[in-house]
Amino acid sequence: MLSIIRFIARHSAYLYFLLFSGLSILIMQLQRKETLEAIRTNGMAANAAVSERLTGFGDIFSLRNENERLLLQNARLFSKVIREDTALRDARNLNDLIRRDSTRVGRIMLARIVDRRFSPLDNMLVINAGSRDGIEKDMAVLSPDGLVGRVTAVSENYARVMPVINKDFKVSVVSDSSSTLGVLAWKGGNDYMAHLENVPSSSRLKVGERLTTSDHSTFAVRGIPVGRVARISGSKLFSDVDVRLSVDFPSLSYVLVSASKPSREKLEIMNGGESAAPAKPALKRK
């Protein structure tokens, strides 16, 4: 290291001469047009490359903003499609209700299901029609497919419906072919299967027979479809009968409430009361 320092100190004049000569040659080269053009060209290329990179970063942010805008637009369109699809589905349900023959239930009122509670035993529906719309307790609730249930409570604008798939619901039914009478009840479990009680083993009831409400019903007029016999198993006194219900309860959105109910006089006679018709006064003998 010391030898290098001594060499530089001894020949410093020559080294300065070489350095200044190199700088002079470099300055002379920079004064040439070709060199300046090359420097300018390389500078423009470098500037273009940097600008391109910066533009690319700007495009990335621009694309991100555009993607967010398109995402919001798609969300709005999706929401609009859902609303229109719901409106079309409701319109189809309403047209189906209107198209079906409802003369067998007399005057009817249309209502929409606005709340429901499903459980293994205690199911319940709430409709958006109440006393202000003419709804009364113990009116029958229907769908185009058959019996839905019975009105159990009424407020001014709403009513609670006990559906067929409730452990406390019972209705008298009759089969269409063998005219077998029985009481339809739901024992829990599947929302499409019920049980037919009080059917003697000697009855002529067959699998596949349709069941409708009978004259013995205390809240519904006769002839409303309820379901079809799915299975019959024998026993000593009464048959064990499974019924597949007509109504698809999970898909219900609209219902019909029937204003027609059994005669009050008939109900009083069935309940063991006195006849509603007043007795004629006896004629006095002269």
Pairwise CA distance, residues 264 & 118, whole Å: 32
- What's the pLDDT score for residue 271? 66
Pairwise CA distance, residues 140 & 152, whole Å: 10
- What's the pLDDT score for residue 282? 46
Q: Which CATH class is domain 63-261?
A: mainly beta
Q: Are the C-beta atoms of 202 and 236 separated by less than 8 Å? A: no
Pairwise CA distance, residues 139 & 153, whole Å: 10
Q: Are the C-beta atoms of 263 and 226 separated by less than 8 Å? A: no
* Highest-scoring range by mean pLDDT, 19-33, 65-79, 123-137, 232-246: 123-137
pLDDT in tens, 89-129: 666 666 665 555 444 445 788 899 999 988 877 899 999 99
Pairwise CA distance, residues 58 & 56, whole Å: 5
Q: What is the dihedral of CA 68, 72, 75, 77, to 10 degrees?
A: -120
Q: What is the dihedral of CA 51, 55, 56, 58, to 10 degrees?
A: 140
pTM above 0.85, yes or no: no
The mean pLDDT of the chain is 78
pLDDT at residue 233 above 80?
yes
- List Cα–Cα distances, 160 to 8, 129, 139, 140, 141, in angstroms: 109, 9, 11, 12, 10
Look at residues 183, 181, 149 and name the one whose alpha carbon lies nearest to residue 164.
Answer: 149
pLDDT in tens, 160-169: 999 999 999 9
- What's the pLDDT score for residue 53? 65
Q: Which helix (H) or strand (E) holds 162?
A: strand 159-163
- What's the pLDDT score for residue 59? 60
Give 224 or 33, the one with higher predicted confidence.
224
Q: Give the DSSP letter of residue 145.
A: T
Least confident range from 104-108, 217-221, 249-253, 276-280: namely 276-280
Task: Give the type of residue at 141.
Answer: V
- What's the pLDDT score for residue 127? 95
- What's the pLDDT score for residue 7? 67
Look at residues 268, 172, 185 and name the one whose alpha carbon lies nearest to residue 217.
Answer: 172
Name the band, by pLDDT with cuts 50, 70 and 90, for residue 209: very high
Average pLDDT over residues 31-56: 65
- What's the pLDDT score for residue 262? 65
DSSP track, 169-215: -EEEEEETTT--EEEEE--SS-TTEEEEES-BTT----TT-EEEE-T
pLDDT at residue 231 above 50?
yes
Pairwise CA distance, residues 277 & 116, whole Å: 41
Name the band, by pLDDT with cuts 50, 70 and 90, for residue 215: confident
Look at residues 115, 150, 130 and name the one whose alpha carbon lies nearest to residue 253.
Answer: 115
pLDDT at residue 182 above 90?
yes
- What's the pLDDT score for residue 275? 45
Strand partners, 110: 256
pLDDT at residue 279 above 50?
no
- What's the pLDDT score for residue 276? 46
pLDDT at residue 33 above 60?
no
Angle CA 236–238–239, to nearest 5: 100
Average pLDDT over residues 12-25: 68
Would you put residue 153 in left (φ > 0), alpha (ψ -120 to 50) or beta?
beta
Give 266 or 126, the one with higher predicted confidence.
126
Average pLDDT over residues 193-206: 91
Domain residue spans of the chain: 63-261
Q: Are the C-beta atoms of 194 and 245 separated by less than 8 Å? A: yes
Task: Give the type of residue at 156.
Answer: E
